[in-house]
C-alpha cells in the first residue's frame, strides 16, 4: 500500500485508508457517497453460462453446458440466470441488477493477458495507465484494490491503497506491541505498523484457514471490500480481480461452484455496504467471453462477446440492456463466438457519467480517449 | 569487527554470511574493490539450466505440437509433458539465482548484477519467465564491469529483450517483407525504441520527440530472433533480417544516421549511451540504489562527471561508490526489497530456512517474483514502494513463521553475525527482553537495521 501523506493520526477509524485520505478532505464530487466497484473476472468468464438464452441455438451449440432446466432462474424475457446466482436473481427482481450480453472492447485477438491489459487501460497511443486510476485522478477520490499489488486498471499517477489477507498465520498483539516499541526511532516503519494495526481494529483480518494459499476467495474478498468501503472515511472506489474463469475443461461443474462463490461474495458485499448499497454501482466484467459451442473437453475456448453485470441500488435494474445478436450461425463472430454487439468502454463511460457525475469533456479527453458514445440509461436518474 | 566492515557487507553486499563482516573489516574498501577488479569473475552454475536458444526451441516445439492437433483434449494431452518441464525449469532458474545470491563470496558484484538486470528488466508471464532468466545470465551478468554502452548493446540486442519488447514483430513498412505483407496490417512496433530511450538511456529529460522514437524504431527493424529455417546453431539467436529492415537514413535528436543496415541501430544506441542525460540517469539510479530514495545530489554529480569523463566505464563508477563518504556514514536507510530481505536472511540461516512454504508462494506473497517485474521499468527501487502497511504485515507474518520453524537458531549470534557494529541500542534491548529465543528471532528479522541496508 502507498501512503500519500506523511502526516498520520493514529486513532482514525480506519488508519489504513485514512493515511491516504488525511489531506484530501475534498470529496467535492461526492464520490464517497456513491460507491463504485469494479470486479474483473480474469480468464474469460463464459457469459452464456451465467445468463442463458432460452432458445434452440443455445441448446444445439452447448446442451451439455446448460444446468437442469427446472433449476434455471427464469427472468421471463427469453433468458435465465444460472441456478447458482440466487442473490443476483433477488437483486434483479428488486430492480438492483441489469445485464448486458455480447460486450467487448475493441480488442479481438483472444489472448488473456493482452485482452486484460487492454480492458484495464482503455487508453490510446500515449495513455498506458489504468482507466480507473485516471478516473480517480479526475475525481480526487480514494481507491482501494483488494490485492497484493495494484492491478493495472488502478495503476497510474494517483496513489491507491491495497489490502490482502495474511501471508502466514496472524501474529499476536503482544508481538506487534514489541515491534512498535522497536520502531520508536523509525518513523516510516512506525507509520506503516500503526496503519496496519488500526485497520486490523476494524476487523479486517481474515481467518487464514479459510483462505488457501493467500488466494483471495471470492466471498472473503468481496466481504472485505464491502467492509472497508463502508467504513467511515472509506474509499469511494474499489476494485477486485477474481481469477480462475478460464474453463476449457469440464465447465459445467466448475462454473456451478464459481458462480456460487461469486454470488455469495456479492451478497456479502451487499450486506457490508448496508445503507450505502442504495447509492452503489458495481460493474462485473471479464476480458472476453467464450466460444458459443462446447469444445472437445466439455468446456469452451477463448471467445469475443462477454457478459457485463451492473449491480447495486443506483443501477436502473430489472432489465437486460443493449443489443442481443443471438447465436444463429450467421450472427456468430468468425463463425464461433457471441458477436461483439455492445461496447465495454461505452458502458463504463455511461456509468462514470451518470453515477459519478463526470462531464463529457473529461470522459472524452482524460479517461477514455478514443472512445465514442456513452451507454445511456444504466443508472437511475 | 568494525562499523565499516559491517557497512561494506550489508549495504554494498547482500547481507552477512557467518564471518563475513570480520573478513571485510580487515580492509572494507579493498574487500569491495577486489570484487570488481578481480580477474576471476564469479561463475554462475548453469547445471540443469538451459540457454535462451534452448528455451525458445522448447517453446517452439510445444507450439508446433499443439498446432498439429485439432482436438482440444489431445492438445491438452500433448502439452502436459511440456508443462511439467516448464515448471521444473522455472523452479530450477529461481533456485539457481537465489542460491547464487546466498552463496557468493563476491556479494557486491552480485548486487550490481541485480541492479543492472533490473535496469534492463525483462519480464515474462508463465513460460517466458525462462527467457527473462537467461537474459540476466547471458546479456547482463558478463558485462557489468565494462563500458555502459557495451552492456546496453548486449542487453538490448538480445533475443529475450527483442521478444519482450516486441521488436521481433516490428517490420519496416518499406522493407522487402513490409511491402509484401502490408495488407496484413503488420508494421512498425515502437515498443523497444521507446523503452530504450525512456528507461535504459536518455529519459524524457533529454527532450526527444515522438519522431525520434519512430525513427529509432525504424532503425531497429530487422533485429529479431533467428527462425527455424536457420542452421541449428543460429536458431533462437539474435539475428538481423535485412529483408525486414526499413531502408533509408534516420534522424534522431538532430543527428543523421546513414543507411548502414544492422549497424544503424547499433550507432544510435551507442550515441544514446554517450548522451549526458544517460550519464545522469545511470548516476541517479546507482546513487539511489545505494543510499536513499532521494540520493545526495553531490554523489549523483560526482558519478555523472565520472561517467562522462571515462566514457561510461562502469568500474570507474563503482570506484566512486566505494570511495563515497555518503555511503559509509549514513545509518541504514533503504528498505530491502523482498528478495534482498530473503537473501540476506538466507546468507546466515541457509536458503531452505527462509521459505516456510513453496518459494514461489513466498515471492508472490511478497509481491516480487524474480523475472516477473510488472513493467519494463523493472521493480521499484524506493523504500516507499515496499513498506506500506500491507507489505509490512506480510514481512511480520513471514518473520514469525520463519522463527517458529527455526526456533533453535540463536537470535543473539544471528544479530552479531548479520549486523556487527550496525546494531542499535533499541534492537539489542528488544532482543534481550524477548520472552523466548523465537520471539527474539522475529525482533532480529524485523529490526529496522535488518529491514534496511
pLDDT digits (tens, 9 = 90+) for A38-57: 999 999 999 999 999 999 99
Cα separation, A119 vs A112, in Å, equals 10
| Domain CATH number, residue A115 | 3.40.720
| Interface residue A169 vs chain B (CB under 8 A) | yes
Q: Is B350 exposed, middle or buried (0-12, 13-18, 19+ CB in 10 A)?
A: middle
Q: Across residues B368-393, what is the average pLDDT?
A: 90
Q: Least CA distance to B447: which residue of chain A?
A: A182
At A298 the pLDDT is 85
CA distance B331 to chain A (A): 11
Q: Is the dihedral of CA B210, B216, B219, B220 positive or negative?
A: negative
B446 with A148: Cβ contact below 8 A: no
Query: How many CB atoms are located within 10 Å of the residue B141 CB?
Result: 19
| Interface residue B424 vs chain A (CB under 8 A) | yes
Q: Is A362 exposed, middle or buried (0-12, 13-18, 19+ CB in 10 A)?
A: middle
Q: Is A213 exposed, middle or buried (0-12, 13-18, 19+ CB in 10 A)?
A: exposed
Q: How high is the mean pLDDT of chain B?
A: 94
At A327 the pLDDT is 97
Residue B39's pLDDT band (cuts 50, 70, 90): confident
Contact call for residues B130 and B102 (beta carbons, < 8 A): no
> In A, which residues are within 8 Å of B392 by CB distance?
189, 192-193, 196
Does the pLDDT value for residue A149 go beyond 90? Answer: no
At B184 the pLDDT is 57
Contact call for residues B45 and B92 (beta carbons, < 8 A): no
* Element of type H or E holding B101: helix B72-103
Encode pLDDT of B61-70 as tens digits: 999 998 888 8
On whether residue A255 sits in a domain, the answer given is yes
Helix (H, G, I), strand (E, B) or coil at A342: strand
On whether residue A375 sits in a domain, the answer given is no
Q: Across residues A65-93, what is the average pLDDT?
A: 97
Query: How many CB atoms are located within 10 Å of the residue B204 CB?
Result: 9
A162 with B392: Cβ contact below 8 A: no
On whether residue A279 sits in a domain, the answer given is yes
Spatial neighbors of B210 by CB under 8 A, at least 6 apart, are none
Contact call for residues A256 and A262 (beta carbons, < 8 A): no
* In chain A, % of residues over pLDDT 90: 62
Residue A6's pLDDT band (cuts 50, 70, 90): very low
At A27 the pLDDT is 33
Does the pLDDT value for residue B207 go beyond 60? Answer: yes
Q: Across residues B10-38, what is the average pLDDT?
A: 96
- CA-nearest of A218, A314, A319, A306 to A269 is A218
DSSP assignment of B317-331: HHHHHHH-HHHHHSP
On whether residue A191 sits in a domain, the answer given is yes
At B151 the pLDDT is 98
Q: What is the largest CA-CA distance in chain B?
A: 76
Does the pLDDT value for residue A25 go beyond 60? Answer: no
Does the pLDDT value for residue A299 go beyond 60? Answer: yes
- CA-nearest of A108, A150, A111, A97 to A262 is A97
Q: Across residues A133-147, what is the average pLDDT?
A: 89
Encode pLDDT of B74-110 as tens digits: 888 899 999 999 999 999 999 999 999 999 999 999 9
In the block, cell 482440444 appears at B72
In the block, cell 496513489 appears at A159
Which pTM does this prediction carry?
0.81
Contact call for residues A85 and A318 (beta carbons, < 8 A): no
At A216 the pLDDT is 57
Q: Which residues of chain A from 286 to 305 reach within 8 Å of chain B, CB to CB? A: 295-297, 299, 301
Cα separation, A297 vs A303, in Å, equals 16
CA distance A321 to chain B (A): 34
Q: Across residues B148-163, what is the average pLDDT?
A: 98
Domain that holds residue A204: 15-26+35-367
Q: Which residues of chain A from 218 to 277 reach within 8 Å of chain B, CB to CB? A: 248-249
Spatial neighbors of A161 by CB under 8 A, at least 6 apart, are A1, A2, A16, A17, A19, A20, A142, A143, A144, A145, A235
Cα separation, A46 vs A292, in Å, equals 9
Q: How high is the mean pLDDT of chain A?
A: 85
| Interface residue A29 vs chain B (CB under 8 A) | no
The backbone region for B261, taken as left when phi is positive above 0, alpha when psi lies in -120 to 50, beta otherwise, is left
Spatial neighbors of A366 by CB under 8 A, at least 6 apart, are A134, A137, A138
On whether residue A381 sits in a domain, the answer given is no
On whether residue A59 sits in a domain, the answer given is yes
Cα separation, B259 vs B263, in Å, equals 9
On whether residue A6 sits in a domain, the answer given is no
Does the pLDDT value for residue B317 go beyond 80? Answer: yes
Q: Is B435 exposed, middle or buried (0-12, 13-18, 19+ CB in 10 A)?
A: exposed
Cα separation, A146 vs A132, in Å, equals 14
Q: Which residues of chain B from 117 to 156 reach within 8 Å of chain A, CB to CB? A: 125
Does the pLDDT value for residue A176 go beyond 50? Answer: yes
At B324 the pLDDT is 97
Cα separation, A33 vs A56, in Å, equals 45
* In chain B, % of residues over pLDDT 70: 99
Does the pLDDT value for residue B287 go beyond 60? Answer: yes
Does the pLDDT value for residue A23 go beyond 50? Answer: no
Q: Which pairing describes strands A36-41 and A237-242: parallel, antiparallel, or unpaired?
A: parallel
CA distance A222 to chain B (A): 18
Please tell me which residue, A160 or B363, carries the higher pLDDT value: B363
A182 with B430: Cβ contact below 8 A: yes
Contact call for residues B164 and B124 (beta carbons, < 8 A): yes
> Domain tally for chain A?
1
Contact call for residues B339 and B307 (beta carbons, < 8 A): no
Amino acid at each position: 500500500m502507498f501512503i500519500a501523506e506523511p502526516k498520520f493520526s493514529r486513532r482514525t477509524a480506519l488508519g489504513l485508508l485514512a493515511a491516504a485520505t488525511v489531506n484530501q478532505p475534498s470529496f467535492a464530487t461526492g464520490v464517497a457517497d456513491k460507491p463504485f466497484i469494479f470486479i474483473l473476472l480474469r480468464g474469460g468468464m463464459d457469459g452464456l453460462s451465467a445468463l442463458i438464452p432460452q432458445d434452440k441455438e443455445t441448446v444445439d451449440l452447448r446442451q451439455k453446458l446448460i444446468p437442469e432446466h427446472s433449476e434455471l432462474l427464469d427472468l421471463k424475457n427469453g433468458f435465465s440466470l444460472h441456478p447458482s446466482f440466487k442473490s443476483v436473481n433477488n437483486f434483479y427482481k428488486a430492480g438492483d441488477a441489469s445485464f448486458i450480453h455480447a460486450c467487448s472492447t475493441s480488442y479481438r485477438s483472444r489472448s488473456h493477458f493482452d485482452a486484460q491489459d487492454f480492458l484495464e487501460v482503455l487508453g490510446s497511443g500515449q495513455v498506458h495507465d489504468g482507466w480507473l486510476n485516471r478516473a480517480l485522478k479526475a475525481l480526487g477520490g480514494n481507491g482501494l484494490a483488494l490485492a497484493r499489488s495494484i492491478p493495472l486498471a488502478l495503476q497510474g499517477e494517483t496513489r491507491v491503497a491495497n489490502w490482502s489477507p495474511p501471508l502466514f498465520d496472524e501474529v499476536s498483539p503482544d508481538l506487534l506491541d514489541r515491534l512498535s516499541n522497536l520502531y520508536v526511532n523509525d518513523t516510516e516503519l512506525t507509520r506503516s505498523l500503526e496503519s496496519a494495526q488500526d485497520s486490523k481494529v476494524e476487523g479486517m483480518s481474515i481467518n487464514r484457514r479459510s483462505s488457501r494459499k493467500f488466494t483471495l476467495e471470492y466471498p472473503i474478498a468481496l466481504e472485505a471490500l464491502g467492509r472497508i468501503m463502508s467504513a467511515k472515511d472509506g474509499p469511494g472506489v474499489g476494485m477486485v480481480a477474481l481469477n480462475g474463469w478460464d474453463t476449457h475443461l469440464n465447465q459445467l461443474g466448475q462454473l456451478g461452484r464459481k458462480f456460487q462463490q461469486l454470488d455469495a461474495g456479492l451478497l456479502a458485499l451487499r450486506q457490508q455496504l448496508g445503507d450505502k448499497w442504495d447509492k452503489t454501482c458495481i460493474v462485473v466484467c471479464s476480458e472476453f467471453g467464450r466460444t458459443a459451442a462446447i469444445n472437445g473437453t466439455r468446456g469452451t475456448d477463448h471467445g469475443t462477446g462477454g457478459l457485463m453485470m451492473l449491480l447495486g441500488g443506483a443501477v436502473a435494474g430489472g432489465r437486460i440492456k443493449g443489443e442481443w445478436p443471438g447465436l444463429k450461425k450467421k450472427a456468430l463472430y468468425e463463425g464461433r463466438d457471441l458477436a461483439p454487439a455492445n461496447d465495454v468502454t461505452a458502458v463504463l463511460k455511461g456509468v462514470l457519467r451518470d453515477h459519478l457525475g463526470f462531464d463529457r469533456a473529461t470522459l472524452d479527453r482524460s479517461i477514455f480517449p478514443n472512445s465514442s458514445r456513452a451507454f445511456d440509461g444504466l443508472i437511475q436518474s | 569487527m568494525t562499523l565499516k566492515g559491517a557497512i561494506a557487507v550489508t549495504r554494498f553486499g547482500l547481507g552477512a554470511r557467518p564471518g563475513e563482516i570480520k573478513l571485510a573489516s580487515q580492509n572494507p574498501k579493498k574487500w569491495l574493490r577486489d570484487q570488481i577488479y578481480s580477474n576471476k569473475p564469479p561463475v554462475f552454475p548453469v547445471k540443469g539450466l538451459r540457454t535462451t536458444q534452448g528455451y525458445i526451441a522448447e517453446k517452439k516445439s510445444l507450439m508446433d505440437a499443439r498446432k498439429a492437433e485439432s482436438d482440444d483434449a489431445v492438445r491438452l494431452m500433448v502439452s502436459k509433458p511440456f508443462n511439467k518441464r516448464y515448471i521444473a525449469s522455472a523452479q530450477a532458474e529461481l533456485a539457481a539465482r537465489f542460491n547464487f545470491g546466498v552463496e557468493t563470496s563476491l556479494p557486491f558484484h552480485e548486487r550490481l548484477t541485480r541492479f543492472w538486470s533490473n535496469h534492463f528488466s525483462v519480464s515474462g508471464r508463465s513460460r517466458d519467465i525462462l527467457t527473462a532468466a537467461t537474459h540476466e545470465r547471458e546479456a547482463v551478468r558478463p558485462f557489468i564491469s565494462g563500458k555502459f554502452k557495451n552492456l546496453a548493446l548486449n542487453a538490448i540486442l538480445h533475443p529475450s529483450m527483442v521478444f519482450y519488447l516486441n521488436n521481433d514483430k516490428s517490420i519496416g513498412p518499406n522493407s522487402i517483407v513490409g511491402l509484401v505483407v502490408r495488407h496484413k496490417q503488420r508494421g512498425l512496433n515502437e515498443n523497444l525504441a521507446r523503452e530504450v530511450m525512456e528507461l535504459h538511456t536518455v529519459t524524457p529529460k533529454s527532450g526527444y520527440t515522438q519522431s525520434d522514437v519512430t525513427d529509432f524504431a525504424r532503425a531497429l527493424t530487422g533485429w529479431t530472433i533467428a527462425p527455424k529455417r536457420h542452421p541449428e546453431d543460429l536458431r533462437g539467436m539474435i539475428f538481423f533480417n535485412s529483408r525486414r529492415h526499413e531502408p533509408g537514413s534516420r534522424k534522431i535528436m538532430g543527428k543523421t544516421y546513414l543507411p548502414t543496415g544492422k549497424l544503424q541501430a547499433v550507432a544510435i544506441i551507442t550515441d544514446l549511451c554517450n548522451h549526458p542525460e544517460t550519464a545522469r540517469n545511470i548516476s541517479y539510479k546507482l546513487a539511489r540504489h545505494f543510499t536513499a530514495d532521494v540520493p545526495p545530489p553531490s554523489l549523483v554529480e560526482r558519478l555523472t562527471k565520472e561517467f562522462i569523463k571515462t566514457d561510461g566505464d562502469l568500474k570507474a563508477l563503482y570506484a566512486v561508490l566505494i570511495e563515497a563518504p555518503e555511503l559509509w556514514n549514513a545509518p541504514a536507510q533503504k528498505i530491502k526489497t523482498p528478495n534482498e530481505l530473503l537473501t540476506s536472511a538466507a546468507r546466515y540461516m541457509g536458503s531452505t530456512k527462509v521459505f516456510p512454504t513453496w518459494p514461489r508462494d513466498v515471492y508472490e506473497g511478497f509481491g516480487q517474483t524474480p523475472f516477473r517485474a510488472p513493467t519494463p521499468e523493472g521493480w521499484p527501487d524506493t523504500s516507499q514502494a515496499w513498506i506500506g502497511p500491507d507489505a509490512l504485515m506480510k514481512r511480520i507474518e513471514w518473520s514469525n513463521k520463519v522463527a517458529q520453524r527455526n526456533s533453535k537458531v540463536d537470535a543473539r549470534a544471528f544479530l552479531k553475525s548479520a549486523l556487527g557494529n550496525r546494531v542499535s541500542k533499541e534492537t539489542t534491548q528488544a532482543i534481550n527482553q524477548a520472552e523466548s529465543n523465537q520471539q527474539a528471532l522475529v525482533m532480529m528479522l524485523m529490526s529496522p537495521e535488518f529491514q534496511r541496508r
